[in-house]
């Protein structure tokens, strides 16, 4: 389904987990800042509407979308966040640079999701022209920042539940008598 058939700001509040204890990092590209500020507004509004305390949200700015990769990596490495939202807007110019920036930031953020334990949400517009970006950052097609914030809450919840499940599994094993190998007395053969 293309964006034209779906308003990016629409979501069912009943499907959004309780987010009041989660902390979020938001990394914002300064390229096309009229658009990225609109995306940020959509994201911060959705987080606050879902009871995320304002002091649980940390924002960093980076020069362009390509720097979202490093900025998001340092955000999740140094700040105690449950998810990161990477906000950018890449618009086709006269050269193939658009293709390389879009591919680079896409692969870079994918790599962060594979290699780290904190979900990084891809809130990067990759548009043919400024009007498409306006339409998707609070215009007729809604706000991708809103969509990204809801995704961030849902992924933070999945991360939390996965961690709890892992702890329960371990606790179950220990309580069922599966002692840790390092606690067993070692019998040294003479
Ligand atoms: N043309 C756009 C860029 N280009 C800049 C790169 O993202 C990067 O900052 C530069 O190559 C230095 O590493 N960035 C955008 O976010 N949007 C564009 O339309
Ligand atoms: C996405 C870009 O880097 C692009 O907007 C830069 O414009 P140009 O391809 O005309 O140099």
3-class secondary-structure state, position 177: coil
| Centroid of ligand 1 to alpha carbon of 148 (angstroms) | 20
Reference 86, options 33, 138, 149; nearest CA is 149
Residue pair 56/96 in contact (Cβ under 8 Å)? The answer is: no
What are the pLDDT digits (tens) for 121-173? Answer: 999 999 999 999 999 999 999 999 999 999 999 999 999 999 988 777 777 77
Q: Is the CB of 31 under 6 A from ligand 2?
A: no
| Confidence at residue 166, expressed as pLDDT on a 0 to 100 scale | 78
The CATH class for the domain spanning 19-181 reads alpha beta
Give the number of the atom of ligand 2 that is nearest the alpha carbon of residue 97: 3
Q: Is the CB of 91 under 6 A from ligand 2?
A: yes
Give the whole-angstrom CA distance, residue 125 versus residue 137: 9
Ligand located closest to 125 CA: 1
Give the whole-angstrom CA distance, residue 104 versus residue 123: 14
Catalytic one among 97, 141, 166, 172?
97
pTM of the model: 0.89
Following CA atoms 89, 155, 170, 183 in sequence, which dihedral angle do they give, to the nearest 10 degrees? 20
- Other CB atoms closer than 10 Å to residue 127's CB: what's the count? 20
Mean of the pLDDT values across residues 55-84?
A: 98
Q: Would you put residue 57 in left (φ > 0), alpha (ψ -120 to 50) or beta?
A: beta
| Centroid of ligand 1 to alpha carbon of 150 (angstroms) | 26
Q: Is 136 annotated as a binding residue?
A: yes
Q: How many helices (H) and strands (E) does the chain have?
A: 5, 6
Reference 58, options 33, 82, 31; nearest CA is 82
Ligand located closest to 94 CA: 2
| Confidence at residue 6, expressed as pLDDT on a 0 to 100 scale | 84
* pLDDT-based confidence at residue 178 (cuts at 50, 70, 90): low
């Amino acid at each position: 389904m293309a964006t034209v058939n779906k308003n990016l700001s629409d979501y069912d509040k009943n499907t959004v987990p309780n987010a009041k204890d989660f902390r979020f990092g938001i990394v914002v590209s300064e390229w096309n800042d009229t658009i990225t500020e609109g995306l940020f507004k959509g994201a911060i509004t959705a987080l606050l509407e879902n009871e995320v305390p304002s002091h649980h949200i940390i924002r960093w700015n980076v020069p362009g979308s390509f720097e979202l990769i490093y900025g998001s990596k340092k955000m999740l490495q140094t700040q105690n966040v449950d998810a990161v939202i990477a906000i950018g807007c890449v618009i086709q110019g006269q050269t193939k640079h658009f293709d390389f920036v879009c591919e680079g930031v896409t692969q870079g953020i994918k790599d962060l999701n594979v290699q780290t334990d904190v979900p990084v949400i891809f809130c990067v517009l990759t548009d043919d022209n400024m009007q498409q970006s306006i339409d998707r950052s609070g215009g007729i097609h809604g706000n991708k920042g809103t969509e990204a914030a809801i995704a961030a809450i849902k992924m933070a919840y999945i991360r939390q539940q996965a961690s709890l499940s892992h702890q329960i599994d371990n606790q179950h094993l220990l309580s069922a008598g599966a002692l840790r190998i390092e606690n067993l007395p070692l019998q040294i053969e003479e």
